[in-house]
Amino acid sequence: MLSYQQWDAIADSYIPLLLTLSLIFLFVNFWQKKFKRGTFELSSLILGALSIYTIMFIDNALKIWPSFNSDYSTHTALALVFVFYLCEKHKIALVGAAVSMCGYIVLMMYQEYHTFLDIITTSIVVLPTLYLIRTLLKKFHLHNRQLTNA
């Protein structure tokens, strides 16, 4: 059985691993000269990250999660930014990202970083936000494509 510190090291490496995988996919887009696609996906990741930290700052100011004895999970939120992105890439990425996220949730609870309530409430706020960002970016992307084709 692994020690607390070893599990901690695994948990600490999860988000950097997701970031690395996301950057590889972005790099491939640019390498294959899919600049519009790469820019669209990079924008999605940046806006997703900005949105989750904006939610964190709002929570810190208004004490939303503490008002129901909970905690906004930036671990969960940031992981979801990358998992949401990776799930749209390939079926294998979808399965891997979803399974790894479930494992990360279990690990966060085992390590007592966050409770199930922290993770679920954070996810309930973050996932629709990421979906909205992605949808708006797609509409903007399609609108710009129509303008350049006119």
User: What's the confidence (pLDDT) of residue 142?
Assistant: 61
pLDDT tens sequence across 32-83: 988 888 888 999 999 999 999 999 999 999 999 999 999 999 999 999 999 9
Which structure tokens are listed for 17? 């691993």
Question: In 3D, which of 56, 75, 55 has the Cα closest to residue 129?
Answer: 55
pLDDT tens sequence across 87-122: 887 777 788 888 999 999 999 999 999 999 999 999
